[in-house]
A and B are shown apart, each in its own frame.
Chain A
Amino acid sequence: MKLKILPTHLREKKRYLAFQAISEIPLERDDVISLILGASGDLYGAYGTSKLGLWVVKFWKYPSSENNMAKGIIRCNRDETKSARAVIPTITRFKGKRVVFQTLGISGTIKGAITNFIKLKTADE
């Protein structure tokens, strides 16, 4: 039997962080999830990470000759936006190669994050 979904006032309130990543080797969505949750585990431990409610909801890749750029959206709890944002600069390495994550902005909806920060059409400049 499937659980009934929670009424709106009991659901977790969310915020969406738009990010971009630059890496030496190409990243997949699963890699990003493990990188972010791993970095959060290193910084806050199991207790802190459980409060953040981190998840990667969208992911786009922009491979180029010099470096592999990727953009995406991370979901986190509304009350923990600042702590979730602090996780993003602590990611430095992926499989022994350099990688850097930068936040583009914070939005209340996925649509808002895409139109204001990801800017799908102009992203390949």
Chain B
Amino acid sequence: MFYDLHIHGNPKLALQAQKMGYCGVSLVLNSKDYNDKSALIQDVKSFKSHLQHDTNFQISLGLEIQAKNPADLKKQVRKFRDKVDVVLVHGGDLKINRAATEDPRVDILSHPYRNRYDGGINHVLAVKAAENKVSMEINLKYFLLTRPTQRYRVLSHFRQIVKLHRKYKFPIVITSDADSIYDLRHPRDVIALASCFGMTNDEAITSLSSTPQYILTRNDIRDRTILPGVRLINNGG
């Protein structure tokens, strides 16, 4: 049961991912592209209905929010939360990272270490992320497309995130961020690669399977959730 929550919106790529052994993907759109409802989203929806007979494979719709500042982020989260299944935030800027970890409506903080010399999160953000259940993303494309001479730096960022994860218990997801077949990797290979940045076998399997699964099920019941742990149950009475 492996999931990849960050694949760029092309339904054919989802089929390739299924062949490779993933049992669920989320096709992620950019917040700027969301307006063109006609093409991409209809495409994904028709593909979804086409796939109905194959019940094991889940396709969900995601959205990556690119915000200029924390206020803009809040505005966009409010706008898109009910429209898509998974909300990702394009991290990298410290203020955006902080605002994203403080918002329980955000699911995944995408590459907080992007274009930075440190991991992008510290103990303060880690505590906030654990409270609000915001997952940190380990983005394989960012690692693989970095020049080999600079890869040590990305690996050390990953290592720092894993270290904070062990202490503060915020969730981690490993995603491929693929937009072509050349970015997809076999899940077992990803688990082997995860040992390079200090994750154990179990941690890697958890971050590929049960953490994404938890994100998806939490979003299914999100509109019925009143408080964390309190849910409205409609039994007709």
Contacts and interface: CB of A to CB of B under 8 A. Distances in A.
B145 A86 contact: no
A112 to B, nearest CB: 17
A85 B192 contact: yes
B71 interface: no
B16 to A, nearest CB: 10
A22 B189 CA distance: 16
B169 interface: no
Interface in A63-106: 67, 82-83, 85-86, 88-90, 92, 98-100, 102-103
A89 B20 contact: no
Given A89-B186, A90-B144, A103-B189, A83 B151 contact: no
B195 interface: yes
Interface in B181-235: 181-186, 188-190, 192-193, 195-196
Contacts of B145: 92
Nearest to B193: A86
B151 A88 contact: no
A102 B186 contact: yes
Contact of B186 (A82, A92, A103): A103
Sorting the interface of chain A by its residue count into under 10, 10 to 19, 20 to 34 or 35 or more gives: 10 to 19
A103 B190 CA distance: 10
A42 interface: yes
B57 to A, nearest CB: 19
B116 to A, nearest CB: 22
B188 A86 contact: no
A6 B230 CA distance: 68
Nearest to A99: B182
A43 interface: yes
A70 to B, nearest CB: 14
A86 B182 contact: no
A22 B181 contact: yes
Interface string B15-53: 000001000000000000000000000000000000000
A42 B20 contact: no
A105 to B, nearest CB: 9
Nearest to B182: A98
Contacts of A98: 180, 182
Given A99-B182, A100-B182, A100-B184, A85 B144 contact: no
18 contacts: A22-B181, A67-B181, A83-B192, A86-B192, A86-B195, A86-B196, A88-B192, A89-B144, A89-B185, A89-B186, A89-B192, A90-B144, A92-B144, A92-B182, A98-B180, A99-B182, A103-B188, A103-B189
Interface of A: 22, 42-43, 67, 82-83, 85-86, 88-90, 92, 98-100, 102-103
The 10 closest A-B pairs by CB, nearest first: A85-B192, A42-B148, A98-B182, A86-B192, A89-B189, A89-B185, A86-B193, A100-B182, A102-B186, A92-B144
